[in-house]
A and B are shown apart, each in its own frame.
Chain A
Amino acid sequence: MDLSAINPVLLVASLIVAAVPFLLAAIGELVAEKSGMLNLGVEGMMITGAICGFAAAVQSGSPLTGFLAAAAGGAALSLLYAFLTLATLANQVASGLALTLFGLGLSSKLGRGYVGIKPPASATLDIPVLSDLPVVGRILFSHDVMVYFSFALVAAVWAFLKYTRAGLILRAVGENHDAAHALGYKVKLIRLMAIAFGGACAGLGGAYISLIRVPQWTEGMTAGAGWIALALVVFASWKPWRVLLGAWLFGGVTVLQLNLQAAGIAIPVEYLSISPYLITILVLVVMSADRSRAPASLGRIFHASQ
């Protein structure tokens, strides 16, 4: 074993990259849950985004087109969930599960013929002075555009929820949909938009895995990242900045166990690779002491009788 082979600067830099899929999917789910919709289909939307983005990027040769297609794919799939829960008033847990099962099947069907292909490379940021700074340059200023986009998205969601009127309405719908309805807000429309946003973000997160982090297409490649993203929202107590923190924690665990595997530590590979899942459980246990932060209408069916 040679721990000195692990370079802390590279470790932090790759931690930031590893955190992006969790971050994107979780911030989208956070908005959906803030509006009162518990969408357990994140895993399905991520994997669908992963293959939509991959296919579009390979066909067009442009990663940007890929990401746009991924967002569209994730959002389109999430509309199925929206139809079930908003129009036909189905149970949210069951509908979300259906979305994940369907998405896994859909993605492996769409993905036939894309196995073993390399996607077009995404450009990394290269600012003359900043990127050449000794430590900070490598950690902060030498990533691909999506990393910065995800940070911007977290900031935007935070500002939207905290400072805008639309954000306030969205939170009101999530806290008490009957009161929001009585005030004349279109509960279903607002929830529909929140769900679609969550789907688009999950799609982007999936595409980040297939286009940048891995980068190739294999069946079931998200390997539970969507479920970890769901746990992250609980971990973050439905606060955007804490999602960022949580994503770095999980990114850190993922990267660290990969590095330890590479360094040849004496623990068997199988046991190292279960660590992200165990940490998720641990974090859930610690955070579940405080349930008061959850939106009050989360998971409840809304039916306007008048």
Chain B
Amino acid sequence: MLKLEKRRQPSRAWAWGAPVVAVIATILAGGLLFALDGTDPVAVIRTIFWDPLFGQHASFYRPQLLVKAAPLVLIAIGLSLGFRAGIWNIGAEGQYIIGALTGAGCALAFYPMEGWFIFPLMVICGALGGCLWAMIPAALKVVFGTNEILVSLMLVYVAEKILASMSLGLLKNPEGYGFPGSRNLAQYPSAHNAEIVAGTGMHWGVAAALIAVIFAYVLLNRHLLGFQIRLTGEAPRAARFAGVVPARLVVFCLGASGALAGLAGMFEVAGPSGQISIDFNVGYGFTAIIVAFLGRLHPVGILLAGLLMALTYVGGGISQSAQGLPAATIQMFQGMLLFFLLAFDVLTNYRLRLTRREVA
């Protein structure tokens, strides 16, 4: 029978191999799923993974990849810090919404004034909004020991209701003929998160995501705080002896991930989305959880995983129109990816052994 045997050292090969194997397994299982759905699996897989990069209209889709990857990477970088330390912020979706609301709210407060300082101010407001929203579970965890998973998740639903209320009330476009939704920030030059180089999809959010990757890398590898985060995740007792204050880590990890999620929301509302509307959020906060794990909670890994996940979004979108693939299938596809990853991850710390059944 097959038996798991603990490795003395985690296998480096499998640590990086598991995500690759998981992606391949997901593609195979996904192909089966598409075939059962009555679509040609090879065509669908090619549409999702090949066409956005090298297909006929790739020049149109490549910028879209950056636009989709930026919020995913920004959020996932923040989440990975907490996940490494065993602090589970599941409510990034809520922090993303609140960041978008505070960022857009800041811009709309100045409308129609023009000024160079408006956009930087929006960035600060967006980060602060997301950070404060994440401070709710952080404070409750530190003061009362409340479970941060459930609190941060409940706050997603609260944020969604606030979003609905805002787009129907306070932030509604007064010149919008009664339609729900705010003014379009794309038509407000001082607040518009325009592309840095036109036609590349490279907006300020993409730049922020790259900066976040570098900062996270330096933090985790070269800074005491990063060491404490890793230590707490790998050996909580040793961390206590080393003088790590758990409360400080909780506040930092939740605060940082909240701020980054808030930033992602703010860049999205000021750029690609343009306005606050009832259905503004599309689940980036949840998909980012998959991105964080797929990237092995490592900044560079997350960057690659974010691009791959963006590919499934863009490719899935093309496939929706080309082969009539339902949107839910892509969501399932992403869920499956996390399943396979978690399953193959066991080989990092254990090896499979064939043993004969013995009498106990």
Contacts and interface: CB of A to CB of B under 8 A. Distances in A.
B129 to A, nearest CB: 17
A270 B165 contact: yes
Given A101-B334, A102-B336, A231-B150, A108 B328 contact: yes
A268 B329 CA distance: 36
A84 B161 contact: no
Contacts of B155: 277, 281
A303 B150 contact: no
A227 interface: yes
A91 B341 CA distance: 11
A270 B146 contact: no
Q: How many A residues touch the partner, as a band? A: 35 or more
B153 A227 contact: yes
Contacts of A288: 140, 144-147
B276 to A, nearest CB: 14
A109 B329 contact: yes
Interface in B54-103: 88, 90
Interface stretch (B106-114, B177-185, B285-293): B285-293
Contacts of A231: 150, 154
B35 interface: no
Interface residues of B, number: 47
Given A102-B336, A105-B335, A284 B146 contact: yes
A270 B157 contact: no
A103 B334 CA distance: 11
Q: At the interface, is chain B mostly helix, strand, loop or mixed?
A: helix
Interface in B321-335: 326-335
A56 B339 CA distance: 27
A95 B342 contact: yes
A105 B328 contact: yes
A90 interface: yes
Contacts of A40: 149
B331 A104 contact: yes
A223 B154 CA distance: 10
Interface in B13-53: none
A234 to B, nearest CB: 7
Given A84-B342, A88-B346, A285-B144, 8 more contacts: A98-B339, A101-B286, A101-B334, A219-B328, A234-B147, A277-B154, A281-B146, A291-B145
